[in-house]
């Protein structure tokens, strides 16, 4: 956002910094090539979920004023709720047409300077963008030493910028290399005003930018290549919406105002936490608690507290209940999970029972002297998601209560036989970001007993990997009952609504209808043919299996596309590499490159389908729109007759 060049991507001002650009940036991004996520070993060190009723000023500060902000911007930034407010689980930054502070427009700009800084990590936000001529939203970072060294010597990482009503997201880095240097790239952005995930992975060697998990930007910074030493020092975060300026220009559609950027959350992960913050964080469970001030309240005193060792701070803990049961509790929480093991056994992850702002769970099957190691994940009453430190509880049997408390931990529900023990390409994980206990699932149905046979307990799933071509249905009851959720791609965090809730799973091949952008008609096996050489065409959708396709992802991330009707593969006749070569059905071979395709997301809801053998695109002949129009291969030009939408059919 600081002092952008007018032609930002027309010429990249790198000069002596060309060591940075040993990489090449392609206009075609293989969506499976690199996926953005915090690694299984990283820790959530800071976040704002924006679940309260006002901006958390322990995490964010306002920047106010006019003056153009180095870019000749038109707005005056204020600290008013007219421009910056939290509502409905999101942060809203609103740009308005109004006279204020000598300017004709107002907006908001907030940052974490002096409250949170970090060096390296995975930084992610889920954002819905404004869209109109003259608008300029951004999610970005500045070197924390900007006050002493100035810009660009402090360094700048633009995680997301968008201008005017363009269907693009930009990722850019700025630094000092005997003057201002910058390097950036952009990617197509469909439905800009809907929520998308914008992220960077930043380590000592690379800065990589992602849109919805797909990498489109990479810059090498190892060893200070190209005078990039700025990117080995602490940075803070910023969010703002500018009005006009050097880059978007000086024309604005006033009739489209007000415009607002909505931010669902901001999260920061690190491998080896080195952040600095004055606000509460989610902390490493293996380190000391950082839950300052969030858990005041009752500690259930009087319930044989002598049985507790290493008791947590007031507001959470485990207390004696009866001879073989202990009660875990968290006060002042919106929801809570407990993660525990007994006598060093396997870790159990369970959603606690919520009553008002108190969560409880009965841990059963304890004997005198049993050691329970545990920690909590919970949302405090301000909405901030926290991890507690790890604690231990030593159980003492006594006579305060009699009976075995049978059924107090009956959530495991072992009824029914194991329905499937197959392993395969789908992986379920105990923790977010593909961490903790994992198990692989093949095609078929997995009731709770089947999941338990693979080491998973009831309510024990937080993330899942679903390769392209699979459909996975999650159920919150055993034996495929209750609420359900369908996934056809990886999910590093299945959300508060489904975390630690899954009790049974169905894994199927996904069936797709493949729709042409130009005509709206779908890929079709001519006359519902099943013989080798059956022609492939477009036709109006009719729901028949002749228009449904399976996708198999290969080890190199190419895909084989087969007919649901016949099992035969989409094949380029005679291994041709020529424009106009026919596309047909043929017996599926053993990794034949003329039956393998690169499926590349174009960012607008459509994909290109490029044959691996010929490097030519699946193309509707002569831009035809009539039923029966032939499909062949042709040189890729990203034309509408070469763009295809994959729509789930089952």
Catalytic residues: 156, 161
Q: Which tokens sit at 583?
A: 């596309």
Bridging pattern class, strands 43-48 and 259-270: antiparallel
Count the helices and strands in the chain (H runs, E runs): 2, 47
Torsion sign (Cα): 371, 376, 381, 382: positive
Look at residues 242, 220, 215, 245 and name the one whose alpha carbon lies nearest to residue 232.
Answer: 220
> 3: burial class by Cβ within 10 Å (0-12, 13-18, 19+)?
middle
Helices (H), 9-99: none
Interatomic CA distance for residues 471 and 449, integer angstroms: 21
Determine the 3-state secondary structure of 592 from DSSP: coil
Residues 6+ apart with CB under 8 A from 590: none
Helices (H), 100-156: 146-149
CB 572 within 8 A of CB 548: no
Q: Looking up tokens 């249905």, which residue turns up?
A: 473
Give the other-Cβ count within 10 Å of 194's Cβ: 11
Q: Provide the Cα torsion 12, 16, 22, 25; round to 10°.
A: 0
Residues 6+ apart with CB under 8 A from 209: 159, 171, 185, 199, 200, 215, 216, 217, 218
Question: DSSP label at 146?
Answer: H
Q: Which tokens sit at 413?
A: 């529900």
Strand ranges in 447-497 using DSSP code E only, listed in sequence order? 463-465, 470-477, 481-487
Interatomic CA distance for residues 60 and 82, integer angstroms: 17
**What is the enclosing helix (H) or strand (E) of 582?**
none
Determine the 3-state secondary structure of 194 from DSSP: coil
Look at residues 165, 116, 80, 436 and name the one whose alpha carbon lies nearest to residue 266.
Answer: 116
Interatomic CA distance for residues 585 and 182, integer angstroms: 49
Q: How many CA atoms lie within 13 A of 558 on its CB side?
A: 14
Phi, psi of 348 (to 5 degrees): -110, 135
Interatomic CA distance for residues 511 and 596, integer angstroms: 18
Helices (H), 71-187: 146-149
Determine the 3-state secondary structure of 222 from DSSP: helix
Interatomic CA distance for residues 277 and 295, integer angstroms: 19
């Amino acid at each position: 956002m600081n002092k952008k060049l007018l032609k930002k991507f027309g010429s990249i001002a790198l000069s002596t910094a060309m060591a940075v650009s040993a990489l090449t940036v392609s206009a075609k991004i293989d969506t499976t090539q690199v996926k953005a996520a915090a690694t299984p070993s990283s820790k959530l060190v800071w976040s704002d979920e924006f679940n309260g009723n006002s901006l958390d000023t322990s995490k964010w500060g306002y920047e106010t004023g006019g003056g153009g902000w180095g870019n000749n911007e038109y707005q005056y930034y204020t600290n008013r709720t007219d421009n910056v407010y939290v509502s409905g689980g999101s942060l809203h930054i609103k740009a308005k047409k109004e006279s204020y502070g000598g300017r004709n427009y107002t907006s908001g700009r907030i940052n974490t300077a002096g409250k949170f800084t970090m060096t390296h990590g995975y930084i992610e936000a889920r954002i819905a963008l404004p869209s109109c001529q003259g608008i300029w939203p951004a999610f970005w970072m500045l070197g924390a030493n900007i006050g002493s060294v100035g810009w660009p010597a402090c360094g700048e990482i633009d995680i997301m910028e968008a201008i005017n009503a363009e269907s693009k997201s930009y990722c850019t880095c700025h630094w000092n290399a005997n003057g201002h240097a910058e390097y950036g790239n952009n990617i197509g952005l469909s439905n800009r005003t809907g929520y998308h995930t914008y992220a960077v992975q930043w380590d000592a060697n690379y800065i990589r930018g992602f849109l919805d998990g797909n990498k489109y930007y990479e810059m090498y910074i190892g060893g200070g290549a190209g005078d990039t030493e700025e990117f080995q020092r602490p940075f803070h975060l910023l969010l703002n919406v500018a009005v006009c300026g050097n880059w978007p220009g000086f024309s604005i559609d006033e009739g489209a105002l007000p415009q607002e950027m909505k931010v669902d959350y901001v999260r920061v992960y690190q491998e080896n936490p080195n952040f600095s913050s004055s606000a509460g964080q989610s902390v490493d469970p293996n380190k000391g608690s950082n839950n300052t001030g969030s858990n005041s309240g009752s500690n259930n005193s009087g319930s044989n507290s002598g049985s507790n060792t290493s008791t947590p701070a007031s507001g959470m803990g485990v207390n004696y209940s009866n001879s073989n049961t202990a009660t875990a509790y968290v006060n002042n929480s919106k929801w809570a999970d407990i993660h525990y093991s007994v006598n060093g056994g396997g870790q159990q992850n369970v959603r606690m029972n919520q009553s008002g702002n108190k969560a409880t769970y009965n841990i059963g099957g304890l004997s005198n002297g049993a050691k329970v190691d545990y920690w909590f994940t919970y949302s405090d009453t301000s909405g901030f998601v926290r991890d507690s430190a790890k604690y231990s509880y030593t159980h003492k049997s006594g006579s305060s209560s009699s009976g075995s408390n049978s059924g107090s931990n009956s959530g495991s529900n072992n009824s029914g036989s194991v329905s499937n023990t197959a392993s395969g390409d789908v992986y379920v994980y105990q923790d977010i970001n593909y961490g903790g206990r994992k198990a692989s699932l093949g095609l078929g149905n997995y009731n709770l007993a089947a999941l338990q046979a693979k080491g998973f307990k009831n309510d024990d799933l937080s993330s899942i990997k679903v390769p392209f071509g699979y459909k996975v249905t999650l159920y919150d009851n055993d034996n495929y009952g209750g609420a359900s959720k369908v996934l056809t791609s990886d999910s590093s965090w299945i959300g508060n609504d489904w975390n630690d809730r899954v009790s049974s799973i169905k894994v199927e091949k996904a069936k797709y209808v493949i729709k042409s952008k130009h005509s709206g008609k779908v890929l079709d096996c001519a006359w519902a043919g099943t013989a080798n050489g059956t022609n492939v065409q477009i036709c109006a959708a009719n729901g028949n299996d002749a228009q449904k396709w399976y996708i198999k992802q290969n080890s190199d991330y190419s895909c084989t596309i087969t007919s649901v009707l016949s099992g035969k593969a989409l094949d380029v006749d005679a291994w041709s590499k020529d424009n106009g070569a026919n596309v047909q059905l043929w017996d599926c071979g053993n990794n034949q490159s003329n039956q393998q395709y690169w499926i590349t997301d174009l960012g607008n809801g459509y994909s290109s389908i490029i044959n691996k053998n010929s490097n030519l695109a699946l193309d509707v002949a002569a831009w035809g729109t009539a039923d029966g129009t032939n499909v062949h291969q042709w040189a890729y030009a990203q034309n509408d007759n070469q763009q295809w939408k994959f729509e789930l059919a089952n």
